[in-house]
Structure 1
Amino acid sequence: MSLGDISAQTIIEKKDLRHCDLVRTARFGSLGIILIGPVCAQWFRFLASKIGTKGSTVALKKVALDQLCFAPCMMFVFLTTLNTLQRNPWEETKRHIKANYVDIMIANYKVWPAIQLMNFYIIPTYYQLLLVQAVALFWNTYLAWKTARKLD
């Protein structure tokens, strides 16, 4: 997640590496280490144990649960936790969620269902989190940029 934030700052926001907000990067990276990584790893284990690991029906069930249950909840938790780490008051946190949640979920549905379908159908269970993390570099770049923008 830190690399995604640095990418957002240097590539999208066009900051020189020396002028990047390293506190922002550390905050974003901490969120990945403390919350996102462990929760996603547990989620993948849960899906494998409750739904299974092979077959097209299994893959479709996992994608449906992942995208209809986990993703919306996790995005709300992500946005709330990020704003908490930024020490934003609850009213500002609500404004950030209202301003970003729908756009992020629309982007999510453009990216993740296809990735997860391939992941759950083709990729062995042991490597599924690895594929997600590879795609997440680009996803985290988007999230870092989207959540760092100032609200009007």
Structure 2
Amino acid sequence: MALWRAYQQALASHPWKVQVLTAGSLMGVGDVISQQLVERRGLQDHQLYRTATMALLGCGFVGPVVGGWYRVLDGLVPGNTKVTALKKMLVDQGGFAPCFLGCFLPLAGALSGLSVQDNWAKLQRDYTDALITNYYIWPAVQLANFYFIPLHYRLAVVQCVAVIWNSYLSWKAHQP
């Protein structure tokens, strides 16, 4: 409970920094889960650079982009009703999610050292599968998020749910 209060105080004092650091931390955790539980690499073969890259993507891309998107979306679709939450989810999943994945996957590929040609081929191969998998998870999560969760907690809620999603994205982004 004390940890939650400290998080709330930090969020109130430094909302942007805390949201970005939360996203980065949870992206790193997602990669650790991917490497250890999904890929079963073991500690000896754990790629620390990859975990650091995913955490960096969280702090430098996911946190700022998603956090900023939630502010924009609240301006585009103001309100807090069930219908408003549904509209926000439809705009988020119909417009933002495809663009976000289209940026995230090549960015992760570039940071992993893929050539432009390999990155393009990987994007063409993985994008549709990642987007379809997105639609299995995120519409319900976002509907609840937009209806029940105040704006300043949305990124944290999404990133907590996203630990599993981040594991998937890390695995997808790092498949040969």
TM category (shorter chain) comes to: over 0.9
After superposition, the CA RMSD in angstroms is: 1.1
1:10 matched to which residue of 2?
36
Indicate yes or no: 2:155 matched with 1:137.
no
> TM-score, normalized by length of structure 2?
0.82
Q: Structure 1 counterpart of 2:96, which letter?
A: F
Looking at structure 2, the residues matched to 149 and 80 of structure 1 have their Cα atoms a distance apart, in angstroms, of 13
Q: Which moved more, 1:111-120 or 1:122-131?
A: 122-131
Q: Which moved more, 1:124-133 or 1:24-33?
A: 124-133
Aligned partner of residue 44 in structure 2, secondary structure: helix
Aligned partner of residue 16 in structure 1, secondary structure: coil
CA offsets 1:70-124 (integer angstroms, 9 cap, x no match) = 0000101001111111221111011110111111101100000000001111222
CA contact (8 A) 2:30 2:165 kept: yes
1:20 matched to which residue of 2?
46
Indicate yes or no: 2:115 matched with 1:89.
yes
Q: Structure 2 counterpart of 1:141, which letter?
A: S
In structure 1, the gaps of 5 or more residues are none
Alpha-carbon offset, residue 26 of structure 1: 1.0
1:115 matched to which residue of 2?
141
Looking at structure 2, the residues matched to 91 and 14 of structure 1 have their Cα atoms a distance apart, in angstroms, of 29
Looking at structure 2, the residues matched to 30 and 129 of structure 1 have their Cα atoms a distance apart, in angstroms, of 16
CA contact (8 A) 1:60 1:117 kept: yes
Alpha-carbon offset, residue 22 of structure 1: 0.7
- Aligned residue-pair number: 150
> TM-score, normalized by length of structure 1?
0.94
2:132 matched to which residue of 1?
106
Indicate yes or no: 2:78 matched with 1:52.
yes
Does 1 or 2 have the higher relative contact order (CA < 8 Å, sep 6+)?
A: 1
2:173 matched to which residue of 1?
147
In structure 2, the gaps of 5 or more residues are 1-26
User: Percent of aligned pairs with the same residue?
Assistant: 39
Alpha-carbon offset, residue 18 of structure 1: 3.0
Q: Structure 2 counterpart of 1:52, which letter?
A: P
1:34 matched to which residue of 2?
60
